[in-house]
Structure 1
C-alpha cells in the first residue's frame, strides 16, 4: 500500500499552479509583505517613549505596537485572554482588533488582483470567518494548563480547521469561504515578513563557529534523511520525505512550508510534517536542557546544541533560557543563522525537483534555467530581500538596531496571525482519512525519529569541534 493517497485534484498541491487571470500568490505575497514592512519601518522612524512594567523607557517605538497583538494567557475564564487576569490586567483586545483590521484591509484591497480574482467584500466575509476560528485557536493555546504542555497555536489551528472540514465542510461557507481560503498566500506573506527577523549580521556574532554548526550540519542531515527515506524506508512520496526532512533539519514549520511549495507537496503532507515538528518540539524543549545539565555540558556547547536541533525559534529561546543568558544567546543566534538557509534550501529543492525528481525513470530531464525559474517559489526572493534590507539597517548604527527591533516587534505579530489563518485553512481543506493515511506503516514517524537522532549526534559533535577550533567565538556574545 502507498504511504499516501493520490492527490484528488491539483488544489491539493502546495504550489502555484497553471496560469489563470490575476497575479500569482507569490507576487501578491511579496507585494503585501513589502508594503507592510515599508509601512512598519516608516512608522517606526523617530523617537518616542513607552511604559514597561511601570517604568518609562525612551527609545524608538512603533506606534502600531499597541495595535498588533494576539489573545494572551488565561486560567479559568477565556475572557482573560483579552483583558488579562485580576492580578495582572493586560488588555490586548485593541491589539487583536488592530491586527485583524490591518491584515483584512490589505488583503481585501489586493483581492481583485489575486488568482482567482475575488470581490473585496466577499473576501472580507470569508476572512472574518477564518479570523474567528484563528482567534479560537489562539485562545485555546493560551489556557494555562494547555500552555504548560507547550501545545502551540499552530496545532490548535490545525485541529479547529480539521473539525470544521470534517463536520460541516468548507462548502458551507460558499463563495466567501472560497474567496478567503488562501492558504499559500497567508503562508508566503508571513515568510516575507519573517525575512526581516532573520538578520545576516547575526553571522558576525558567533563567526565561523556559528556557521560550522548551522551551515555544515544542516545540509548533511537534510540530504542523509532524504536518502534514508527513499532508499531504506522506500517512502512512496518523495515530496512527503523531503518536507519532513527539511522541517526536521532546518527550522520546523517555516522550512516545511517553503520546501513543500518547492517540491509540490500535497497539503496533507505539509500537515503531517508540521504535526510531527510540533510534537517533537514540545518534548525536546523540556528534555534537552535537562539532558545538557545532566551531561554537564558547557553553556556555549549546550546552547549551540539546542539552537541546531530544536525546530521552532520560540522553543529554542525557551529551552536556551532554562540554561541561562549565555546559552540563550548562543542558541538563538545559531537558530537565526540556520534560518537563513530557508531560501537556499527552497531554491535547491525547486531545482532538484524540476531537473531530477519530476523526470521519468531513465528519461533525461528536458528542462533548464527557464523552467527552474518558472517553478521556483518566488516569495523566497521577498524573504531574502527583507533579510538583506533589515540587516543593512540593523548594522548601520545603534539606532538602526533599535529601528529593526521595534519594527519586527509589530511584523512578528502580523506574521503569527497569517500563519494561524493558514493552519486553519489547511485543516479545513483536509479530512481525517487523507491525514491518517499519511502515517500508514509509521514511516513518517520513523523518518523523523531517525533524522532527528542523526541531527542530535552531528550537531553536538560539530559544536564541540567548532568551539575547539574557534574558542574566541564563545565570548563573542
Structure 2
C-alpha cells in the first residue's frame, strides 16, 4: 500500500460545477496512515461496543508448559477455531484497505494467510513457559522467522503483496494508544516524568550528534535516535513516518533494536543483582533502557516485584513521547534545508503548515485520540475491562508486522549499508543510554532529589 497521494484523473476528478470530489479521488486521499487509523478505530470501537453490551470476546490462548498443554490447549479444536476466526477478521479488514487503495486483493490474501500463520507460530513458541522465563517473547521469534525466509528464499510476488510492515504496525500503534493513560503518568510521579524528559532528550541529541560525526545521513540518524531514546521499534516507525523515511532504513533499525534487546534483557538484570543496585532504581533503569513493556516486565521479573512496577511505570512515561516526538520531528524535517550528497545546498520549497501537515504521520493522530478517549472520556472500569482484549489484538498486528520486517531485512545490509556506520552509531548510542539512564535512575529514584516513590 502506497503512502503517497496520487493526482486524480482529469476526466473524473471534479464535477462539471468543479465542486465535489469523486469517489476514486477520495479513496486515493486515504493513505496508509489513514487506513491504519480507520482499521484501528474500527477494532477499538467494536471491542468497546461488544464489551459494553455484555458480550465476551474470546481470544486464542498461546500459553503452554509441556506437550500435553500444547495438544490440549493450543492445538485444541476450540482454540484453533478462535485462531482461524481472528485471522479471517483481520484479513477482511486489511483486504478492504488494500483493495480500495488499488492493491491486488487476491495475491494479498494468499500472502497474508501465510504471514498470519507464521505469526501464530511465533506466539506459540514464545508462549512456552520455559522460553518466556528467559524473557524471550514472540517479537524475537517473529523477526527470526521472517529473516530466515527473507534471506534464504526469493519471495514470490503474491507474498510480497502482503509484506506491508508499516501498515500493520501503524494499525497496532493506534490500538496501543488505548494503554497510554494519564493515570499512569500521575502514578509515575515526578521522578518518572523527569527521567523520561532527560533521558529521551539527551540520548536523542547525542545519537544525532554521533550520526553526523560518523557521516550517517540525517534520515537514518533521526530513525536511529528515536529508536534508541524513546521506545525502540514503535518510535522508529513513528519517526520514519514523520520524515517519510526509506523503508530499508526502517527495517535495518528494527533489526538492530531487536538484536540488541536480547543481550540487554539478560545482562541488565544480572548487573542489578551483581552490583547490589536497589530494586526500585534497577526497575527504573530497566524501564528507561529496554524498548518494550513486555521486555521490561520480563527483565524486571528476574530482579523482583518492585522492579517490575517501577520499570513499567518508567516505560509508560517514555512511551508518551511517541506522539510528542512525531510532532516536533515532522515540523523540523519540513523546515530543514536539504543538501545534496556533495554537501551543496539545494533549493528548498518554502515550507508552511501545508507541508508540515503532509509530512506529519497521520496514524499518530489515531494514537493520540485513542489515548485521550481512554484517559478522559471512558471510566477507569471500562478502560480496564477492554484492556486485555485490545492488547491481545494489538500484539497480533505487531507479530504480523515483525514477520514482514524480517522478510524485508537483509543481514548483508547490516555491514554494507553506509559501511556499517549506522550499526556502530546505534550500539554506541545504546551504551551511552544505558549509563546515562542508570545515573538518573539513581538521582531520581534513589531519594537524592525527591522522595523515593512507593511501588509496594
Query: How does the TM-score come out when normalised to structure 1?
Result: 0.81
1:339 to 1:457, Cα distance in 2 relative to 1, 3 A? same
Q: Is the 8 A contact 1:169 1:428 kept in 2?
A: no
Q: CA deviation at 1:472?
A: 4.0
CA deviation profile, 1:46-94 (whole Å, cap 9, x unmatched): 66xxxxxxxxxxxxxx611x2x2364446569x9278259xxx997434
Decide whether aligned partners of structure 1 residues 245 and 42 sit closer, same or farther in structure 2, where only a CA change above 3 A counts: same
SS at match of 1:323: coil
* From 379, 394, 402, the counterpart of 1:423: 402
Q: Distance in 2 between matches of 1:238 and 1:75?
A: 49
CA change 1:430–1:84 in 2 (3 A) is: closer
The alpha-carbon distance between structure 1 residues 199 and 169, as it changes in their structure 2 partners (threshold 3 A), is same
1:286 aligns with 2:266: yes
**Helix, strand or coil for the counterpart of 2:245?**
coil
The DSSP-based 3-state class of the residue aligned with 1:265 is: coil
Q: 1:357 to 1:166 in 2, by over 3 A?
A: farther
Cα distance in structure 1, aligned partners of 2:302 and 2:149:
38
Number of residue equivalences: 431
Structure 2 counterpart of 1:214: 196
Residue deviations 1:97-128 (CA, integer Å, cap 9, x gap): 232132122223344333x3454x55433321
Distance 1:446 1:166, change over 3 A: closer
Shift of 1:213: 0.7
Distance 2:327 2:63 in 1: 37
User: What is the aligned-residue RMSD (CA, Å)?
Assistant: 3.0
CA distance in 2, matches of 1:351, 1:141: 39
Asked whether the equivalents of residues 187 and 422 of structure 1 are also in contact (C-alpha less than 8 Å), the reply is yes
The superposition leaves residues 391-439 of structure 1 with CA deviations (integer Å, 9 ceiling, x where unpaired) of 1256xxxxx333222312112121112122222223334555445523x
Question: 1:234-383, aligned counterparts within 5 Å?
Answer: 234-235=215-216, 237-356=217-336, 358-359=338-339, 361-363=344-346, 365=348, 366-383=350-367
Deviates more, 1:241-250 or 1:145-154: 145-154
Asked if structure 2 preserves the Cα contact closer than 8 Å seen for 1:198 and 1:387, the reply is: yes
- Kept in 1: contact 2:177–2:369 (CA 8 A): yes
SS state of the match for residue 69, structure 1? coil
Q: In structure 2, do the counterparts of structure 1 residues 19 and 286 end up closer, same or farther at CA, with 3 Å as the change threshold? A: same
Equivalent position SS for 1:452: helix
Tell me the distance in 2 between the aligned counterparts of 1:226 and 1:80. 47
Determine the structure 2 residue equivalent to 1:42. 49
Paired residue for 1:169? 154
Inter-CA distance 259–81: structure 2 relative to 1 (3 Å threshold): farther
Q: Which residue pairs with 2:140 in the alignment? A: 155
Structure 1 residue 464 and structure 2 residue 448: aligned? no
Q: Is the CA contact (8 Å cut-off) linking 1:211 and 1:337 kept in structure 2?
A: yes
CA contact 2:334–2:355 (8 Å) conserved in 1: yes
8 A contact 1:243–1:270 mirrored in 2: yes
Aligned to 2:22: none
Q: Which residue of 2 aligns with 1:447?
A: 425
Q: In the superposition, relative to structure 1, how do residues 24 and 171 fare at CA in structure 2: closer, same or farther (>3 Å)?
A: same
For residue 454 of structure 2, what is the aligned residue in structure 1? 475
Match for residue 199 of structure 1?
Answer: 181
**Residue 390 of structure 1 contacts residue 404 of structure 1 at CA under 8 Å; is this kept in 2?**
yes
Distance 1:155 1:423, change over 3 A: same
Q: Evaluate the alpha carbon distance shift between residue 24 and residue 141 of structure 1 in structure 2; reply closer, same or farther with a 3 A threshold.
A: same
- Cα distance in 2 between the residues matched to 1:73 and 1:270: 33
- The answer to whether the Cα contact below 8 Å between 1:221 and 1:249 also exists between their aligned partners in 2 is yes
Corresponding residue to 1:403 among 382, 406, 411? 382
Q: Measured at CA, do residues 29 and 207 of structure 1 come closer, stay the same or move farther in structure 2, by a change above 3 Å?
A: same
SS of 2:156 mapped into structure 1: helix
- Going from structure 1 to structure 2, the CA distance change for 1:422 and 1:410 (only over 3 Å counts) comes to same
With over 3 angstroms needed to count, the CA separation of the structure-2 counterparts of 1:338 and 1:72, relative to structure 1, is: same
Q: Answer whether contact 1:200 1:340 (CA < 8 A) is retained.
A: no
SS class of match (2:263)? helix
Bigger mean CA deviation after superposition, 194-203 or 344-353: 344-353
Query: In 2 relative to 1, CA 408–101 (structure 1 residues): closer, same or farther, beyond 3 Å?
Result: farther
The 8 Å contact of residues 289 and 320 in structure 1, kept in 2 or not, is answered as yes
What is the CA–CA distance in structure 2 between the aligned matches of 1:342 and 1:145, rounded to whole Å? 33
- Asked if the contact 1:104/1:127 (under 8 Å) is kept, the reply is yes
- Answer whether contact 1:71 1:81 (CA < 8 A) is retained: no
Deviation, 1:380, is 0.4
Secondary structure of the 1:180 match is coil
1:244: how far off? 2.1
The answer to whether the Cα contact below 8 Å between 2:115 and 2:400 also exists between their aligned partners in 1 is: yes
2:15 aligned residue = none
- Measure, in 1, the Cα distance between the counterparts of 2:66 and 2:416: 36
Q: Which residue of 2 aligns with 1:137?
A: 122
